[in-house]
Structure 1
Amino acid sequence: MRRYVVTTALICVLGTLWYVLWLAAAPGTVAIGYLFMPLAMTVGGLAVRALRRAVPLAPAGRRFWLLLEICCYLFAAGFVLLVVDAFRTAPELPSMPPAGAALIGAGVVVAMWGVAQVPLGVTSWYERGKQWLDRTIAFLGCATVLWHFGISPMFWSPDPWSPSALTVLLLACAFAAGAITKVAYVAGGPVDRRAMRLVASTGLMAAAVALLAVLRGTDGILPGQAVCMPICGLLIALGVRRQLTAATDPRVVGKGNVWLPYLAVLAVDVPVADVLIRSWHWAPGVWEGRAVVSAAVVVTGLVALRQYVVYRENARLLREKQESEARLRHEATHDPLTGLANRALFRQILDRVLEAGPATVLLADLDEFKTVNDSLGHDAGDGLLVAFAEVLRELAGPGAEVARLAGDEFAVLLPVDTTGEELAGRIAAATSVPISDQRLLVKFSAGLATAPRGTPAGDVLRHADAALYAAKERGRANWVRYAGGMERPASAHARLGGDLRRALDAGEFRIVYQPIVSLDDGRIVGVEALVRWEHPERGMVSPIDFIPAAERTGLIVPLGRWVLRETCRQAAAWIAEFGPDVLDKAAPNVSVRQLHDPDFVADVAAALADAGLPSNRLVLELTESAVLRGQHVSQVLHELHDMGVRLALDDFGTGESSLSLLRAFPAAIVKLDKSFVDGIELDEPDTPAAHARQAVARAVAQLADALGLDTVAEGIESQEQADRLLRLGYHVGQGYHLGRPMPPEQLTELLAARRVKAAA
């Protein structure tokens, strides 16, 4: 666009030079001074046309620049007619021909329409109304100044201008006022704000022409035509270049001006002061003074209205700010789910109470809450928490403070006249019936702690937490009051969780393998993988101690992943060394936390692929409680089954719904629990319970055979038990009599010895 800018600038310079020469020597005819304006506007129109062809524009922007191009050509055509009249009437100055005035007036109207169509980015009616109020104030202020100092002197002049010229100037001043107020509120969009500002400035050239005419009379007409008016084309060319720059390199544009209405008030005061000083504005038949004062009154009234609107808006914003701050303060100190106080607020309240006297705290959490979340979903779990919170709030009474500390852990700061045991009993009675929308029957455990005045709140909560841990150790639905030294087992349990992470990183875990043996011929057909922890200081740590800690901390997932990969690797090594018939199955145990791990299926597939172990040689042992964990677990189990991995239901017969599981669970193996094997060798059971064990064992074998499932009897500790199980239909078993858990090296030696024996 540089050539259009240079061309229009050159036209402006030539017009100015010609006028200077005219003042000095009057070269040529006066009509030459009228040529520069149509030339500049023609070049400006060509610049707009080039812009529309050069860059893709939004519909609103394309419409604006098209209307501006039409405006340029209308202006050029109107001033060409004025040039023709100028050559015809020279050396006299021409009057604006009506046809030229009509074309120029049409160009102004088209430009005004184009500016009016530019969107301001305001969507709400409230913001749109505020903006229209501001723009009305600014427009009236600008229009009053332009009228009083530009159009009015021509209108009341003893030698008035022609109606055509007055009409054109009136439209030009209206365009200037409207464009200035419009541009002030354009904050960005399809038309660049700076480009709009340059285009709007063309209206000021008309005001400059009017001012020259007022100050110098007919002597001001020629400089207006030769010097001022061509600048319109230059401004349009500059606006086009700015729009092209914005289209190829967008910039962030600030908000629209908010000071323009106040500037308009100051501007309207200038003509008011003028009409008060110069008395001719109040002469009979001259309504100029009354018009200016009326405009000032209207502007002042609109500004007062605007201030009222701003006051209302500020009051609303202040109210919203206060409400937001109150909401944030509440959210910072309260639990969003239950509305109870959170841990931080509860500690503050507890500290305040302990400063004045003794305090009793009841710490409670829901037993088996994780089971509800896993089996019924988090929505059901949230509903249960809300229902239990309501139970606590209602039973604790108005003098108590109830808080949700974390997860399913709640705390109650008891009133002075309430004992912890009394409240715990009321809570137990209230939860003996189903609660929440899902009508769930839940139990809770609680720890109680009472502390004298001056005790830190942290100590009281730690004592209550130790009592809660002791209550859980005793089983579900218990509450225990804190006694000295009670926190030691809990702290040891916490340290155990920390040691697990270190042990996993240090490689302190070992896998031992218990043989699974054919009861027909004593041949090893498989192994169960069992994890052991060789602690460098405490020696061998029992799985009964560290598996619950691993479950609670979530470390069971990486630990189980390691056991899975190591079992697959070792089984593949035995098959490679002793042949494909050495082992039919390698069976690691899988926890419920692993089944909920989203990467578990991928981990199994990767372990099989890395070890080169056929999927049908891997058996994953799961407990009934792990299987009954909702839709996600069921989907995972079916995906594993589809991979060819076999699933074994461990401890079968001990749960409440084991038989129904066999229809929904894709099991391949059923493992009879040890509790049904103990005493099964007796020919005449001496108790009804022993007789029932034999009946259950027989029924499980028959059911598994009917469903096409393999069976494994666990906990075989004598040959008599093995023989009786064989007669009941069990062909595979495991137990200390058949083989104790052993390191992989020892089992390798056993397999090698049996191969030698078989070969012999």
Structure 2
Amino acid sequence: MTLPESAAASRSHTGGLVPVLVAVWANVGVLVWLLLRGRDDVFWGYLGGPIALAAGVYASWRITRADRLPAPVRTFWLRMELAAISLGVTAVVAQLRANNNTGMSMWVATPMMIGVVLLMTAFLGLPGPRRTALCWLRAVLDTFTIAVASTLVFWYVVLDLAPAGTQLSAKVIAAVLGVGGVLLLVVVGKAAAAPETVVDGAALRVLTTGPLTCVVGTILLIAGEDGARLALSVLALPLTGASICVGAYLQRRALDRPDTAAPVTGRSLFNLLPFAAVVATAGLVISVSAQDMSARQRTVIIGAFLIAGCVVARQLLSLRENTLALRGIRRQQAELERLALSDNLTGLPNRARFLVALGERLDAKQRSAALLIDVDDFKMINDTIGPAAGDQLLFQVSQRLREQCTPAEMPARLGGDEFAVLLPDDDPAAAEAAGNRLLLALADPFRVGDQQLLLHASAGIALAGHDENADEVLRNADIAMYAAKESGKASLVRFEPRMRDDMINHATLAGELRNGIARGELRLLYQPVFDLVTGGLHGCEALVRWQHPQRGFVSPVEFIPVAERSGLIVPLGAWVLREACTQLAEWQAVHGAGAVEAVNVNVAVRQLRSAGFVDEVAAVLSDTGLRPRNLILEVTESSVVDGWQVRETLQALHDMGVRLALDDFGTGQSSLSLLRAFPVDVLKLDKSFVDGIAEGADRGRLAVAAAVAQLAEHLQLKAVAEGIENQEQLNRLRDMGYRYGQGFFMAKPLPAADCGALMAADPVQVA
């Protein structure tokens, strides 16, 4: 059974606290021993070190096994684990040699120095901004300055305070460890104060405890009093182990927070260490030299020190000015980045920010998925309520997505009515569950002003695969979203590779269709419409066909959807309209009164949206010499409800005298309400209601077919039955009141010449 995300996070936090508690109690135990036992049997006083560092090893190991951990962070904590092991060995050796009272020995110093080097390697290995050769040179000079100054301070000050009889080897070991601790403190401090870091900033600041205790402990071991030396001896390593445990716990908590790192704007005190090193060295020179020099020489040295001090002060002032200027630049840069990476209307991240975040997760090998959400029929809604209200609606959609997304999910607005959500999972079931959760949230009504609107959305999910970049993942989600649109909208589809192949095939076919239109590869067939009472030819419907030079015959079922998706339906429809009208004019010239009165032409919704479509129809009628009543434009119910622009176009065509037919009538969800708003002249009963009515087995089909005939009669509309395939269907439809019909039983779609021959032939037998 899979735990809920919140429960899993809670369990993870609880598990992460265990090593913290162990390390804390180890330090408390050492403090209690110091208070109660004093110097008796120091073996037990050193017991806290191995325990706390063992907890640190476990905490570091545990964080390296965490999910969703970027590779640089995993490498950092792996090195921390190795450093904790080395320091743990130091703690064990120190405990075993505790009662020997031999001071700082090679047995203790060697694993400790290895641990210091490993810690330094871990922090130096953190990725950061790209450095120029000048930056590297400045860093090397700062490091050298600090190293030399701390060596002099240790050698001439700290080691001079060592008790008499302290061995030279112990002094050298102490100086090396002390200088190493200072350098480590600089490295850790700079990493913790960096404006951007892949490791949690709070965790890095906690880890500065280690080098601090190393420096202070080394000084007190050599120059401190017995009590202070004993306290730091038994507390230094337990404190370091506790800092590692706390840092690992903070890193674990950072994984469950959104990726919102707050930039550090303050200046790090560690940047001042090179200047402090210069001042300390100058003071040391005066102190040492003053013992054996004359007053005149001392005056020169003091003057040199004052000059050095002035130079340092001047540099500090320049550093402050540069820091203030840099802080202002960073604020401006942060504001520009915010404006460039966020959407002005909704405040959500925009497409660029979404792609950056997705790319970062892919580069870090983190599990990811992209959810693309598109509001269904938003154009119609926007046309109905107006652009201002449409913007309010989009803002509410963004707010609802923001509220419904978990902290690990990132919603974004890509543009228009298209939104995306970055999901932190590549499990198909989990990703689809998140997608359905968000679509369900958008299904609740929205209130805009005094209107309550019900929205539906289509969504596509793409799981991030191997070797895919952010653009490819988002493109896959877009392909899946279009598949959801084509499957009926208000649904969720997960991307599959075959969808990309289908998209490529569609694009290829669209290019070939464009060439086919230009090269004259398309032709029209005409399906006759008969009078079911007299058997005479009443009209014909123009149907486009494509004979591809290589593919052969391409079915309209294949190329019409491609034309609609690619926008080629507009030039294709224009060609069909002009070709059909030209052919009708020829029939009328040849057959006179025997020619059909009108030709039916199917019109796509994209043509109706075009502002110049009415003028185009008028121009075609004028060029071919036809009257408006000689043209019947067939539209589907989905086209009629597309928006106010389509309705105005249809009304203008009707006012011109062009007759309009409602195709596939009865299949929509609002067919009856359309008859009041739509200037219809002809109702064409869909073939699905004609199939099977002859047997009388489907009472529902019979009822709908009969109701459409009666409705057309009462509204004084022409009713045409589509898809008649046998005599029994024809008889039943005629008995219901259908005067006109078309189908393979009477005639299949015919070339223009064969259809023209029917106009001169005797009526067909319909009895």
* Shorter-normalised TM range: 0.5 to 0.7
Q: 2:411 aligns with which of 402, 411, 436?
A: 402
Task: State the 1:357 CA deviation.
Answer: 2.1
Is 1:365 aligned to 2:374, yes or no? Answer: yes
CA separation of 1:380 and 1:725: change in aligned 2, threshold 3 A:
farther
CA separation of 1:548 and 1:573: change in aligned 2, threshold 3 A:
same
Task: State the 1:586 CA deviation.
Answer: 0.5
Is 1:333 aligned to 2:341, yes or no? Answer: yes
Task: State the 1:491 CA deviation.
Answer: 2.2
Is 1:730 aligned to 2:743, yes or no? Answer: no
Aligned to 2:716: 708
Aligned to 1:563: 576
The Cα offsets for residues 565-619 of structure 1, whole Å up to 9 and x where unpaired, read as: 1111111110111003410220101121111111011011001000001111111
* Contact 1:396–1:414 (8 Å) recurs in 2: no
CA distance in 1, matches of 2:426, 2:694: 61
Q: 2:423 aligns with which of 407, 414, 428?
A: 414
The Cα offsets for residues 100-120 of structure 1, whole Å up to 9 and x where unpaired, read as: xxxxxxxxxxxxxxxxxxxxx
AA aligned to 1:747 is: C
CA distance in 1, matches of 2:740, 2:471: 56
Aligned to 1:352: 360
Q: 1:426 aligns with which of 430, 437, 444?
A: 437
The Cα offsets for residues 36-73 of structure 1, whole Å up to 9 and x where unpaired, read as: xxxxxxxxxxxxxxxxxxxxxxxxxxxxxxxxxxxxxx
AA aligned to 1:692 is: G
* Contact 1:701–1:730 (8 Å) recurs in 2: yes
3-state secondary structure, aligned to 1:598: coil
CA separation of 1:602 and 1:424: change in aligned 2, threshold 3 A:
same
CA separation of 1:530 and 1:572: change in aligned 2, threshold 3 A:
same
Aligned to 1:746: 754
The Cα offsets for residues 383-437 of structure 1, whole Å up to 9 and x where unpaired, read as: 4433332222222233332222344332222235993123112113212322352
* Contact 2:570–2:606 (8 Å) recurs in 1: yes
CA distance in 1, matches of 2:628, 2:645: 22
Task: State the aligned residue count.
Answer: 435
CA separation of 1:445 and 1:635: change in aligned 2, threshold 3 A:
closer
AA aligned to 1:727 is: D
CA distance in 2, matches of 1:557, 1:568: 17
AA aligned to 1:618 is: L
Identity of aligned residues (%): 51
Is 1:631 aligned to 2:640, yes or no? Answer: no
CA distance in 2, matches of 1:488, 1:719: 44
Aligned to 2:286: none
Aligned to 1:584: 597
Aligned to 2:545: 532
CA distance in 2, matches of 1:426, 1:572: 58
Q: 2:490 aligns with which of 463, 474, 477?
A: 477
Task: State the 1:671 CA deviation.
Answer: 1.3
| Structure ID, larger Rg | 1
Alignment of 1:503-514 (within 5 A): 503-514=516-527
CA separation of 1:347 and 1:738: change in aligned 2, threshold 3 A:
same
Aligned to 1:444: 457
CA distance in 2, matches of 1:529, 1:319: 71
* Contact 1:395–1:423 (8 Å) recurs in 2: no
Aligned to 2:471: 458
CA separation of 1:716 and 1:360: change in aligned 2, threshold 3 A:
same
* Contact 2:372–2:477 (8 Å) recurs in 1: yes
* Contact 1:713–1:730 (8 Å) recurs in 2: yes
AA aligned to 2:674 is: L
3-state secondary structure, aligned to 2:614: helix
3-state secondary structure, aligned to 1:622: strand
Task: State the 1:484 CA deviation.
Answer: 4.4
3-state secondary structure, aligned to 1:711: strand
CA separation of 1:597 and 1:711: change in aligned 2, threshold 3 A:
same
Alignment of 1:587-666 (within 5 A): 587-666=600-679
Task: State the 1:707 CA deviation.
Answer: 1.8
The Cα offsets for residues 707-737 of structure 1, whole Å up to 9 and x where unpaired, read as: 2211111111111211221121111111111
Aligned to 2:705: 697
* Contact 1:510–1:532 (8 Å) recurs in 2: yes
3-state secondary structure, aligned to 2:452: coil
CA separation of 1:621 and 1:450: change in aligned 2, threshold 3 A:
closer
Cα-Cα RMSD: 3.1
CA distance in 2, matches of 1:592, 1:376: 20
The Cα offsets for residues 336-391 of structure 1, whole Å up to 9 and x where unpaired, read as: 33332232222222222222122222223233444434555555554443333222
* Contact 2:596–2:759 (8 Å) recurs in 1: no
* Contact 1:588–1:621 (8 Å) recurs in 2: yes
CA distance in 1, matches of 2:504, 2:375: 21
| Stretch of structure 1 that moved more, 556-565 or 332-341 | 332-341
AA aligned to 2:706 is: R
AA aligned to 1:746 is: D
Superposition TM-score, scaled by structure 1 size: 0.53
The Cα offsets for residues 225-272 of structure 1, whole Å up to 9 and x where unpaired, read as: xxxxxxxxxxxxxxxxxxxxxxxxxxxxxxxxxxxxxxxxxxxxxxxx
* Contact 1:516–1:733 (8 Å) recurs in 2: yes
Task: State the 1:547 CA deviation.
Answer: 2.1
CA distance in 1, matches of 2:600, 2:728: 26
Q: 1:387 aligns with which of 377, 396, 405?
A: 396
* Contact 1:355–1:454 (8 Å) recurs in 2: no
CA distance in 2, matches of 1:558, 1:530: 15
Alignment of 1:96-115 (within 5 A): none
Aligned to 1:490: 503
Alignment of 1:7-26 (within 5 A): none
Superposition TM-score, scaled by structure 2 size: 0.53
CA separation of 1:439 and 1:565: change in aligned 2, threshold 3 A:
same
AA aligned to 2:370 is: V
3-state secondary structure, aligned to 2:348: coil
Alignment of 1:225-236 (within 5 A): none
AA aligned to 1:446 is: A
The Cα offsets for residues 499-556 of structure 1, whole Å up to 9 and x where unpaired, read as: 3333322322221110011111221111111122222222222222222222222222
CA separation of 1:642 and 1:468: change in aligned 2, threshold 3 A:
closer
CA distance in 2, matches of 1:695, 1:374: 36
Aligned to 2:689: 676
* Contact 1:508–1:533 (8 Å) recurs in 2: yes
* Contact 1:527–1:587 (8 Å) recurs in 2: yes
CA distance in 1, matches of 2:365, 2:329: 38
